[in-house]
């Protein structure tokens, strides 16, 4: 049984690691089934949060204004994780965002993980939901939803409950057991910065149509800039 690992949870601006950004990280280090260390931080995404994200997480732009950038946070996060196995509720989601950030900094990030959501889907299919919040309520686990460190703590408690209930039965699956760490797979490409022609076009569009935008043009990636240009052209024309 895996009893030593790092559980991570992220709050993000959306669901797509290619487009969205991390805004909060919570990580819990467990050794021999005991929490030995915790780590959390806000991350400045260099963009204004959508109202739905503010409502979901309770995090607002003001809390992120003075937060460190991802390139500053990443070395601390990777140091905290070390070579440990990752645990998460839909762990590939969190892994994909961290790997994307690592690739952007020209770093390698390959890990194995255990997914409590997959275990719950297999053994608790009769429940109305397998969301972290619902499962915590089902097992009587204290939980403050949609904040990174609280979610990470709750996931550790959920994993321990699932282990008590289903580990022996699942071990009959041998190497296929969902309690055994599996390689996490996500292909990430490094972002390239906005090009000079894109920057010039965006500034011209913003100036021509007297727009106030909620992002810094110079900090956009090439793909982000392309989407912004398409959006402005579609709405305002040339």
- Catalytic machinery residues: 146
Residue with tokens 């890990």, as numbered in its chain: 111
Q: Give the helix/strand (H/E) hosting 80.
A: helix 70-81
The answer to whether the CB of 112 falls within 8 A of the CB of 206 is no
* Distances, alpha carbon 28 to alpha carbons 38, 85, 154, 219, 235, in Å: 5, 12, 10, 31, 45
Rounded to 5°, the CA angle 76-90-46 comes to 45
Residue with tokens 């963009």, as numbered in its chain: 47
d(CA 105, CA 96): 14
């Amino acid at each position: 049984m895996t009893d030593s690992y790092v559980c991570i949870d992220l709050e993000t601006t959306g669901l797509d690691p290619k487009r969205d950004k991390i805004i909060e990280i919570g990580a819990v280090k467990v050794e021999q089934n005991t929490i030995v260390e915790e780590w959390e931080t806000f991350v400045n995404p260099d963009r204004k949060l959508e109202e739905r994200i503010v409502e979901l997480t309770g995090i607002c732009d003001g809390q992120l204004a003075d937060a460190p950038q991802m390139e500053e946070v990443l070395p601390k996060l990777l140091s905290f994780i070390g070579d440990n196995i990752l645990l998460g509720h839909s762990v590939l989601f969190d892994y994909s965002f961290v790997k994307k950030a690592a690739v952007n900094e020209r770093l390698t990030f390959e890990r194995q993980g255990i997914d409590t959501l997959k275990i719950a889907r297999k053994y608790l299919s009769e429940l109305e939901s397998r969301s972290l919040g619902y499962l915590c309520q089902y097992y009587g686990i204290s939980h403050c939803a949609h904040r990174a460190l609280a979610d990470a703590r709750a996931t550790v408690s959920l994993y321990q409950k699932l282990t008590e209930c289903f580990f022996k039965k699942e071990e009959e699956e041998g190497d296929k057991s969902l309690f055994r760490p599996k390689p996490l797979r996500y292909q990430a490409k490094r972002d390239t910065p906005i090009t000079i022609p894109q920057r010039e076009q965006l500034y011209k569009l913003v100036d021509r149509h007297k727009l106030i935008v909620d992002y810094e043009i110079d900090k956009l990636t090439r793909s982000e800039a392309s989407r912004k240009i398409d959006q402005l052209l579609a709405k305002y024309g040339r």
